[in-house]
């Protein structure tokens, strides 16, 4: 899906209390995986609640190009008829993942186990992001890579393995994308493929592989890690997938309600998988009034209805081992920290440098241009909270949806309005962000 080239600036101003109940869109991680696993299964997979954002739609398009039948059957409802493990067909067009590292890296894993050749490409942001971290293990499994441009960057050509080898792989960084790429390639390999991670990352691939019929075992490894072993060459069968609301999208209305005085909102069906709830833990430590009533579990883990009321926040220290469980939430946490009293120290944020933008620098710049004191010390980010934010800054979004949304949330409670240079990338993950926030009472425009 081609992203519209036209930048779309917007301003957020001080708002009255936010109120109401909303359901943010389906989880992005689960949506990508549901499409990919559906495409690798035999029979029909029916997905409800799919995130229909640009990132996921690009994955759907790639699954079609690889031979799966992918159909939209209703609002957020999709049906996939898959080709079976290792059954992808040679794509006739380059696979364009737009802005999405997750779609690109997971599909690289799935393609690496098939005897086909595919060209992988993306937008200007994705073309700067490191792919070596995924290509290294995939080459050990027998895939071959020809770089089109700079080594380890898109565009590149991947030759999948004719006889993929199972491996035991220790991920060099806590990354669900690396883990998932190895496991998806391992589906086509005979015997056991094992991934060891020293810090547990989100486990949606493991849970969903099980849901689709694979044999996969996850055990603890060291104080914070996991050892995951997949038995290769299973017959995956089509499944029903109900996608819960995305906690990484819920993060924006949650922080908005905390910082806009008098707010009281409810978010329904938010996924509360413990490997995704680092932000909620941190905000509660800061004094946030967040109540969660858990409902039920499914392939994505438990979910909850979450009530958030405006709160006086205080600065805290966030330990590095919490990073994998809130890796996409530091930008909006930094906004909450700016409205808190006292410093918030966020440790171990090196992975933020290789996201849709260099989020460590971009977060610091977003706050500085709005009058907040902030420091980057090595891989740590220190925000000096003073209970209010002056605002009046223009934030550069660097093709990064989460910077745009974080800056707009900040503007809802800052003394002067906050402007962002481009909101168009919000469509990659949260297409209805602006109308949904307006419905809660946000003053945009
Ligand atoms: C994701 C994993 C994370 C996260 C991304 C989604 C996933 O990336 O930042 O938004 O769905 O596997 P890393 O695995 O590179 O940390």
What are the phi and psi torsion angles at 304 (to 5°)? Answer: -145, 160
CB of residue 180 inside a 6 A radius of ligand 1: yes
Specify the ligand 1 atom closest to the Cα of 28: 11
What's the pLDDT at 251?
A: 99
Q: What are phi and psi of 352, to 5 degrees?
A: -65, -20
3 — pLDDT class (breaks 50, 70, 90): low
Q: Which of 201, 278, 352 to mutate to test the pocket of ligand 1 (most atoms within 8 A of CB)?
A: 201
Residue 219 burial (CB < 10 Å; 0-12/13-18/19+)?
A: exposed
| Residue range 250-291, pLDDT digits in tens | 999 999 999 999 999 999 999 999 999 999 999 999 999 999
Over 80: is that where the pLDDT of 300 sits? no
Rounded CA-CA distance 117/92 in Å is 10
Atom 11 in ligand 1: residue holding the nearest Cα: 29
Task: Express each pLDDT in 126-150 by its tens digit.
Answer: 999 999 999 999 999 999 998 776 7
The answer on pLDDT for 2 being more than 60 is: no
**Ligand 1 pocket, residue 29 CB under 6 Å:** yes
Cα 438 to the center of its chain, rounded Å: 24
Q: 316 C-alpha vs ligand 1 centroid, how far in Å?
A: 25
Whole-number percent of the chain with pLDDT over 90:
95
| pLDDT score recorded for residue 151 | 81
Is residue 176 within 6 Å of ligand 1 at its C-beta?
yes
Cα(91) to centroid(ligand 1), Å: 25
Q: Is 328 in the pocket of ligand 1 (CB under 6 A)?
A: yes
How far is ligand 1, taken at its centre, from the CA of residue 390, in Å?
32
Helices (H), 66-175: 101-112, 132-140
- Residue 5: per-residue pLDDT: 66
DSSP 3-state of 437: helix
Long-range contacts made by residues 359-362, C-beta under 8 angstroms, separation at least 24? Answer: 359/330, 359/331, 359/400, 359/402, 359/403, 362/331, 362/396, 362/397, 362/398, 362/400, 362/403
- Burial, 388: exposed, middle or buried (Cβ in 10 Å; 0-12, 13-18, 19+)? middle
User: What one-character-per-residue DSSP string does 241-275 give?
Assistant: EEPPBPHHHHHHHHHHHHHSTT-EEEEEEEE--GG
Ligand 1 close to Cβ of residue 106 (< 6 A): no
Q: How far apart are the first and last CA of the chain?
A: 27
Q: In the predicted model, is pLDDT for residue 193 greater than 70?
A: yes
Among the listed residues 328, 321, 325, the one whose alpha carbon sits nearest the alpha carbon of residue 278: 325
Q: Catalytic amino acids?
A: 328
**pLDDT exceeds cutoff 80 at 297:** no
Going from the Cα of 28 to the center of ligand 1, the distance in angstroms, rounded, reads 10
Q: What is the model's pLDDT at position 298?
A: 60
The band of 414, judged by pLDDT with boundaries at 50, 70 and 90, is very high
Q: Report the pLDDT value the prediction gives residue 6, as an integer from 0 to 100.
A: 86
Q: Which tops the pLDDT comparison, 295 or 252?
A: 252
- Predicted confidence band of residue 299 (pLDDT cuts 50, 70, 90): low
pLDDT at 53: 98
Q: What is the pLDDT of residues 322-363, one digit of tens each?
A: 999 999 999 999 999 999 999 999 999 999 999 999 999 999
From residue 358, how far is each of 79, 249, 351, 352, 400 by CA, in Å? 36, 19, 9, 6, 9
Among the residues of 188-227, which ranges form H helices? Answer: 204-211
Q: In this structure, are strands 225-231 and 192-197 parallel, antiparallel, or unpaired?
A: antiparallel
Q: Model pTM? A: 0.98
Ligand 1 pocket test: which of 54, 202, 205, 358 has the largest number of ligand atoms within 8 Å of its C-beta? Answer: 202
- E-strand ranges in 85-162 read 95-96, 117-121, 144-147, 156-159
Q: What value does the mean pLDDT of the chain take?
A: 96
pLDDT band for position 160 (50/70/90)?
Answer: very high
CA of 203 to the centre of ligand 1 (A): 11
Using the structure block, give the residue that is written with the tokens 């080594």. 151
Tell me how far the alpha carbon of residue 265 is from its chain's centroid.
23
8-state DSSP, 92: S
Q: Looking at ligand 1, which atom is closest to the CA of residue 133? A: 15
Residue indicated by tokens 């806009």? 260
Q: Coil, helix or strand for 431?
A: coil
For a ligand 1 pocket test, name from 29, 97, 99 the mutation site with the most ligand atoms within 8 angstroms of its C-beta: 29
Summarize the confidence of residues 190-219 as an average pLDDT.
Answer: 98
pLDDT at 4: 63
Ligand 1: centre distance to CA 103 (Å): 10
Average of per-residue pLDDT across 210-238? 97
Q: What is the DSSP code string of 319-369? A: -GGGGGGGTTTHHHHHHHHHHSEEEEEE---GGGGGSSS-HHHHHHHHHHT
Note the pLDDT tens digit of each residue in 66-111. Answer: 999 999 999 999 999 999 999 999 999 999 999 999 999 999 999 9
């Amino acid at each position: 899906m081609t992203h519209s080239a036209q930048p779309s600036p917007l301003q957020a101003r001080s708002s009255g209390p936010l109120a109401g109940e909303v359901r943010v869109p389906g989880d992005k991680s689960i949506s990508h995986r549901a499409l990919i696993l559906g495409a690798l299964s035999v029979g029909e997979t029916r997905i409800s609640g799919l995130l229909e954002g640009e990132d996921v739609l690009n994955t759907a398009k790639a699954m079609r190009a690889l031979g799966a039948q992918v159909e939209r059957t209703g609002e957020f409802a999709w049906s996939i008829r898959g080709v079976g493990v290792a059954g992808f067909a040679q794509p006739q067009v380059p696979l364009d993942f737009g802005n999405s590292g997750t779609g690109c890296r997971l599909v690289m894993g799935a393609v690496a186990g098939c005897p086909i050749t595919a060209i992988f490409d993306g937008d200007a942001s994705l073309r700067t992001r490191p792919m070596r971290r995924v290509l290294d293990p995939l080459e050990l499994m027998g895939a071959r890579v020809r770089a089109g441009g700079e080594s380890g960057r898109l565009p590149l050509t991947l030759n999948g393995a004719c006889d993929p080898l199972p491996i035991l792989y220790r991920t060099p960084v806590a990354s669900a994308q690396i883990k998932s790429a190895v496991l998806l390639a391992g589906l086509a390999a005979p015997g056991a493929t094992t991934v060891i991670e020293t810090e547990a990352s989100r486990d949606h691939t493991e849970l969903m592989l099980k849901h689709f019929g694979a044999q996969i075992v996850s055990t603890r490894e060291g104080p914070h890690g996991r050892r995951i072993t997949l038995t290769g060459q299973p017959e995956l069968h089509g499944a029903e997938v109900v996608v819960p609301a995305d906690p990484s999208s819920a993060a924006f209305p949650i922080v908005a309600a905390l910082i806009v005085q008098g707010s009281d909102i409810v978010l329904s069906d938010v996924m509360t998988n413990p490997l995704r709830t680092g932000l909620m833990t941190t905000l509660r430590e800061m004094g946030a009034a967040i109540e969660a009533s858990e409902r039920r579990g499914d392939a994505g883990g438990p979910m909850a209805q979450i009530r958030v009321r405006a709160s006086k926040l205080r600065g805290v220290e966030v330990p590095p081992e919490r990073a994998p469980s809130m890796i996409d939430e530091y930008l909006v946490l930094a906004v909450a920290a700016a409205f808190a009293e006292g410093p918030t120290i966020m440790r171990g944020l090196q992975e933020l440098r290789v996201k849709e933008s260099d989020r460590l620098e971009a977060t610091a710049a977003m706050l500085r241009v709005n009058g907040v004191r902030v420091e980057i010390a090595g891989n740590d980010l220190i925000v000096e909270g003073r209970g209010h934010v002056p605002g009046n800054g223009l934030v550069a979004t660097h093709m990064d949806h989460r910077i745009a949304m974080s800056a707009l949330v900040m503007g809802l409670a800052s003394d002067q309005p906050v402007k962002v240079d481009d909101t168009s990338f919000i469509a990659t993950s949260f297409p209805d962000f602006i109308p949904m926030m307006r419905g809660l009472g946000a003053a945009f425009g």
